[in-house]
Amino acid sequence: MDIIIRALAAVARNGRIALVIGLIAGLSLPNVAQILRPWLPQMIAALLFLTAFRIGPNAALGGLADGLSTLKVALLYQVVMPLVALAVFWAVGVSATPFAIAILLMLSAPSVTGSPNLTILLGHNPEPAFRILIIGTAILPLTIIPIFWLSPALGDLSAILIAAFRLLGAIALSVSAAFLLRKFVAPAISSAKIEALDGVMAIALAVIVVGLMAALGPALKSDPVLVLKWLAVALIANLGLQYIAFTVMRLRGKHDVAVPFGIVAGNRNFALFLIALPAATTEPLLIFLGCYQVPMYLTAILMRRVYARHGQ
């Protein structure tokens, strides 16, 4: 058992490399990606369970006492930002284009379930990212209403509401089960075992990204120019939002949440919305979904020097 714990701790210390391996596997092993793709919901739920177990109910619920400030950030991310973007897209006449739809869906979405894990890989406290994940998902059925009402091109609101409640239910079950297990089985965990858990989560992230990139490998072969265009959009949107949010938080003196809230700003669970869109609209967005994994899974590498300014 000690050997396994040490091995997983070594993976945790090299978690950024594990994510790069996952990205490469997602591109180079399309058959494996197709096999993993149907299991993505279960794998993501398992990752969330591990994250909640690692953080524990005491730390998580203690942080939720400061929920008002987190709620404000979630509303800023999921309501104000997409409405501003929609106004800009209307002004320039591109509100119904695949580009505008992709950006609006991304901005309207809550945090990806892996945001606390990305925060851990960057050596920061995952609890603020976990809080905004929970609160942002809880308010999603309300925050999406004005966005979809003002932009009919986004799809069917009723289907989105159903998907949002399903996501909320899955998160509630995963987190509750993890908290109960932690409370009654392992109320105190040694730092060595925490590091081993971080290693398990790094492996899980690397496996999940293979399934998320199922559409990207074939698209890269058939239309590499289109993929490169969507990749540029994904890089600018994801990393740009991270940089802006991190900088604003630091300027406001919010050094304790600058890194996790920066990570959440650019890494959103917009794949949730794709089920409500017509197939003609979904096809290019699936390519964007694959491209979006690149900055997400390279956040721990590409943003490392930026986030190193934390606390300065």
Cα of 6 vs its chain's centroid, Å: 28
Amino acid making up residue 249: M
The CATH number assigned to the domain holding 127 equals 1.20.1530.20
212 in any annotated domain: no
Question: How many CB atoms within 10 Å of residue 123?
Answer: 12
Average pLDDT along the chain: 85
Count the residues in the chain. 312
Q: What is the pLDDT of residue 155?
A: 67
Instruction: Give yes or no for residue 229 having a pLDDT over 80.
Output: yes
* 9 within a domain of the structure (yes/no): no
Split at pLDDT 50, 70, 90, the class of 81 is: very high
Task: Judge contact between 119 and 205, C-beta under 8 A.
Answer: no
Does residue 116 contact residue 129 with C-beta atoms inside 8 Å? yes
Residue type (1 letter), 245 = A
Higher pLDDT, 275 or 303: 303
Q: Domain for residue 152, yes or no?
A: yes
- What's the total number of domains in the chain? 1
% pLDDT > 90, the chain: 26
**Which of residues 37 and 276 earns the better pLDDT score?**
37
**pTM of the full structure:** 0.85
Mean pLDDT across 174-200: 85
**Containing domain of residue 49, as a range?**
39-200+224-307
